[in-house]
Amino acid sequence: MQVSLTPHGEELLRQQLARGLGRSPEEVVERALETVAQQDVILTEEEKKRRREAVAAMLAFRETHHLTLEPGVRIQDLLHEGHKY
């Protein structure tokens, strides 16, 4: 696979090589891609955690305020309707 870099990308690559973060341009790019892949996993786990916390907060609110919905009504639909106003 051939990859073309912008002048800025080339300069960044040269800087990383000069810092000793790889023995070749390919190694520097590979390390950068591995770092991005790891961050994606971390962000995904953080997002899952935020969603679990949000669901727990909504369930607690429902219990505290005795919230019930009519059959067939979803919170997602109510939120969507609320954005119209």
- Would you say residue 83 has pLDDT above 70? no
65 against 32, higher pLDDT: 32
* Residue, of 14 and 67, whose pLDDT is higher: 14
Mean pLDDT value across the chain: 85
Distances (CA, A) of 51 to 8, 13, 17, 46, 56: 37, 37, 40, 9, 9
What separation, in Å, do the N-terminal and C-terminal C-alpha atoms of the chain show?
51
pTM, two decimal places? 0.50
Task: Express each pLDDT in 21-47 by its tens digit.
Answer: 999 999 999 999 998 888 877 878 888
The pLDDT value given to residue 82:
63
